[in-house]
A and B are shown apart, each in its own frame.
Chain A
Amino acid sequence: MSMNRREFVHVLGLAAAAGMLPGGKVLAAGSGKSLYEVPKFGNARILHMTDCHAQLLPIYFREPNVNLGLGISRGRPPHLVGKNLLKYYGLPEKGPIAHALTYLNFDAAAKTYGKVGGFAHMATLVKQLRAEVGESQSLLLDGGDTWQGSGTAYWTRGKDMVDACNQLGVDVMTGHWEFTYTEDEVRANIQRFKGEFVAQNINLTEDALFDDAPAYDTDTGHAFKPYTIKQMGKHRVAVIGQAFPYTPIANPRRFIPNWTFGIKDENMQALVDEVRAKEKPDAVIVISHNGMDVDLKMASRVTGVDVIFGGHTHDGVPGAMEIKNSKGVTLVTNAGSNGKFLGVMDLDLGEGKVKGYRFRLLPVFSNLLDADPAMSRLIEDIRKPYQKDLSEKLAVADETLYRRGNFNGTFDQIICDALRAVNDAQISLSPGFRWGTTVLAGDAITMENVMDQTCITYPETYVREMSGEEIKLILEDVCDNLFNEDPYYQQGGDMVRVGGMDYTCTPGEKMGKRISDMQLDDGTPIDPKKKYKVSGWATVGSQAPGEPIWDQVAEYLRDQKHVKVKKLNTPKLKGVAGNPGLADYPGKVS
């Protein structure tokens, strides 16, 4: 049963009062009588959205119950789940804020509080927050992963999202999945975008420079403008872009062969120093797609940055982390995903420095914010040609289907089951993306839901023979990208999802020793020398030969009519008992 708006506002008021009083660790929501009343502070308001994954309409999104942090990251945001996260920030275990930030009691709470996000609702919130301080004293930043993640984004090659962002008034953005279109498409979209696209860490390859490929600056080799200066009232703010450093590794290089990426924190330091000397800004901020652990490390090494507004790892973190480095403190935030949150950073700018700040992570509850009429019309126009295909009901979800978490989510399991069934494979592999919306138990699974879970520009499936040794190698490789003790070696995705096999994972081990006890569903040990028939999708090296994953999943769902996970191939975990990034785990933990 959904709450009506008056009840909702009342509950939000209580939540706000309970968790956000002065002296608490965070101001996760307004400390006024409702969630969206944010008292004015300072003289510059920076709004931050990230990783919306092209979700134009309100959606459900279940936060993870497994987000392990190891070493220095253990027990530190963002590696806290459920009650551990709420406790860390002094937030109540029940109510809308708890629902927005955690998986706790998800099914019931999702019904109570309704859907989240949606560009029309986000637009209303953005307009209100900008109007409060004046247009000239506010900025809207987008951390990227905006042009990918929905059927309409795929079919329009990201153009629908550029138009929606123009309508929303995004001032500056950077990217990651944006680069899974071709270079020409990326450049055309940037042309269409009314804001600015910045990235200090994308350079032309030497060959591309020789061949006169388009560049922002042929002397420095920057493919895009590295930073921009924004006037905010009387003050000047430098905004530096940091795109996802491992795009050509985590995603196909073949779409963007002219560009080379990397963390390049020495270049970042040189740029910050240059900008500070040349432009004399009152604040230097970074719009980043590094992922939160990489941002935290970068903040400890690079000096002179006031705030890093981070994304990529989809962490809804209700407070700004204050990270010390050799010359001062850098704030690091992360604003979740799927349009579910809007970060609000109010800065008090002085001459050449930030004197104070207030940060709030506002959940975007669609039931609580009116839809902006102009944005609603635009979204309707965008969807019209595709509406019929998207609304096809394929099957009914007999349990809640979600993805997010370090290991198999329930929707992943359905995808893995589909791959095995359609391709008659013993084992299936599915990428550990962090996007993909949630379908509630009892609801129909539409083609749109399937596109939300699978929509990429390299969706082709494969079936091939792999030895047990090869399968282990893949698992070890991905696991190291997730659990390497040095964040600079992490790529920010979750563990590859598996179907038809089980294993034991010891996250704290070194590469090559994390995966053990691999066995088929029936308990037969997987022989390193023996060949197995494996099916999967999203190959980065070269285009796979099979039909797109969404067609196979749709075929499977139509055939099943009702779906429920029969066996969740989530690994046994070793060495992580008591880790605050783990709760209600469906497998064995020791």
Chain B
Amino acid sequence: MNKQRRLILKTLMQGGMALGALMAAPGAALAAWMESAFKAKDMGEAMKNLLGSANAQDSDKVRLETPAIAENGAVVPIKVSSSLPNVESISIFVKNNPTPLAASFEIPEGTEPKVSVRIRMGKTSPVTAVVKAGGKLYSTTKETKVTIGGCGG
């Protein structure tokens, strides 16, 4: 990879991380609804606070890539994309995390609905991607196992 491109990408990444940090520690600037969603301790409550409903329809048009077993629970790579039309947002929930809402992305009109993020997982849990499209909620869930490791032969 060309050095300059790498530098730009790194800078962008750091910028992205700073933004992420802002989201993780919502201050006064963030809307109360977002804070209540990110702080919710129950997945249903988090979904309701963020998206207005705790129910989403299972859909194979929400593509979720997760490791079956996490290599490192502190940085679990998650990818979500969707072939649904008019995607407005993509949100990721980890049911067994102390605060299940891990990330939420607004998808502006005309943007390809595809996100990639690394999240922290305390223990084995279902991971759910919820896509809001045309005002409706669609989801896919997969389990990611967090293990102590070792003893493999």
- A interface, CB within 8 angstroms of B: 206, 209-210, 212, 218, 244, 246, 248-251, 253, 260-263, 266, 312, 314, 431-435, 473-474, 477-478, 480-481, 488-489, 491-494, 496, 511, 538-541
Q: Is A489 a contact partner of B145 (Cβ separation < 8 A)?
A: yes
Which 10 residue pairs spanning A and B have beta carbons closest together?
Answer: A250-B152, A434-B153, A493-B153, A433-B153, A431-B151, A540-B150, A493-B152, A249-B149, A477-B148, A248-B71
Give bound CA distance, A218 to B147, whole Å: 30
Which parts of B45-98 form the interface with A (CB within 8 Å)?
A: 65, 67-72, 77
How would you classify the secondary structure of chain A's contact residues: helix, strand, loop or mixed? Answer: loop
Q: Is B6 a contact partner of A478 (Cβ separation < 8 A)?
A: no
Q: Is A261 a contact partner of B150 (Cβ separation < 8 A)?
A: no
Chain B, Cβ-Cβ closest to A496: B151
Task: Give the chain A neighbours of B153 by CB distance below 8 A.
Answer: 250, 312, 314, 431-435, 492-494
Question: Smallest Cβ distance from B80 to chain A, in angstroms?
Answer: 14
- For B67, B77, B148, B150, which residue has the most chain A Cβ atoms within 10 angstroms? B150
Give bound CA distance, A435 to B151, whole Å: 12
Contact bitstring B1-29, A, C-beta under 8 A = 1, else 0: 10000100110010000000000000000
Contact bitstring B105-145, A, C-beta under 8 A = 1, else 0: 00000000000000000001000000000000000000101
Question: Smallest Cβ distance from A117 to chain B, in angstroms?
Answer: 18
- B interface, CB within 8 angstroms of A: 1, 6, 9-10, 13, 65, 67-72, 77, 124, 143, 145, 147-153
User: Which of the residues B10, B77, B143, B152 comes within 8 Å of A249, measured between beta carbons?
Assistant: B152
Chain A, Cβ-Cβ closest to B10: A210
Given known contacts A253-B71, A434-B153, is B147 in contact with A210 (CB within 8 Å)? no
User: Which of the residues A263, A312, A432, A489 comes within 8 Å of B151, measured between beta carbons?
Assistant: A432
Task: Give the chain B neighbours of A249 by CB distance below 8 A.
Answer: 69-71, 147, 149, 152
Q: Is A489 a contact partner of B68 (Cβ separation < 8 A)?
A: yes
- Other than the given A249-B152, A539-B150, 18 more pairs (CB < 8 A) read A209-B1, A210-B1, A244-B152, A249-B71, A249-B149, A250-B149, A250-B150, A250-B151, A250-B153, A253-B72, A260-B77, A261-B71, A431-B150, A434-B153, A481-B147, A491-B147, A494-B153, A540-B149
How would you classify the secondary structure of chain B's contact residues: helix, strand, loop or mixed? Answer: loop
Question: Smallest Cβ distance from A521 to chain B, in angstroms?
Answer: 22
Question: Smallest Cβ distance from A453 to chain B, in angstroms?
Answer: 12
Task: Give the chain B neighbours of A489 by CB distance below 8 A.
Answer: 68-69, 143, 145
Chain A, Cβ-Cβ closest to B70: A249
Task: Give the chain B neighbours of A266 by CB distance below 8 A.
Answer: 65
9 contacts between A and B (CB under 8 A): A210-B9, A249-B70, A250-B152, A251-B152, A261-B71, A262-B67, A263-B68, A489-B143, A492-B153
Task: Give the chain A neighbours of B152 by CB distance below 8 A.
Answer: 244, 246, 249-251, 431, 433, 481, 491-493
Give bound CA distance, A494 to B67, whole Å: 22
Task: Give the chain B neighbours of A250 by CB distance below 8 A.
Answer: 149-153
User: Which of the residues B1, B70, B77, B148 comes within 8 Å of A218, measured between beta carbons?
Assistant: B1
Give bound CA distance, A433 to B9, whole Å: 42
Give bound CA distance, A492 to B143, whole Å: 19
Give bound CA distance, A494 to B152, whole Å: 7
Question: Smallest Cβ distance from B61 to chain A, in angstroms?
Answer: 16
Question: Smallest Cβ distance from B137 to chain A, in angstroms?
Answer: 24
Give bound CA distance, A435 to B152, whole Å: 10
Task: Give the chain A neighbours of B70 by CB distance below 8 A.
Answer: 249
Question: Smallest Cβ distance from A162 to chain B, in angstroms?
Answer: 22
Give bound CA distance, A511 to B69, whole Å: 14
Given known contacts A262-B67, A489-B68, is B1 in contact with A481 (CB within 8 Å)? no
- For A249, A312, A492, A541, which residue has the most chain B Cβ atoms within 10 angstroms? A249
Question: Smallest Cβ distance from B98 to chain A, in angstroms?
Answer: 19
User: Which of the residues A261, A314, A491, A511 comes within 8 Å of B124, measured between beta carbons?
Assistant: A511
Chain B, Cβ-Cβ closest to A493: B153
Give bound CA distance, A253 to B153, whole Å: 15
Task: Give the chain A neighbours of B72 by CB distance below 8 A.
Answer: 248, 253
Q: Is A493 a contact partner of B67 (Cβ separation < 8 A)?
A: no
Task: Give the chain B neighbours of A244 by CB distance below 8 A.
Answer: 152
Give bound CA distance, A248 to B70, whole Å: 9
Give bound CA distance, A452 to B52, whole Å: 60
Q: Is A212 a contact partner of B151 (Cβ separation < 8 A)?
A: no
Task: Give the chain A neighbours of B6 by CB distance below 8 A.
Answer: 210, 212
Q: Is B69 a contact partner of A246 (Cβ separation < 8 A)?
A: yes
Give bound CA distance, A346 to B31, whole Å: 67
Question: Smallest Cβ distance from B124 to chain A, in angstroms?
Answer: 7
Give bound CA distance, A579 to B18, whole Å: 55
Task: Give the chain B neighbours of A493 by CB distance below 8 A.
Answer: 151-153
Q: Is A260 a contact partner of B71 (Cβ separation < 8 A)?
A: yes
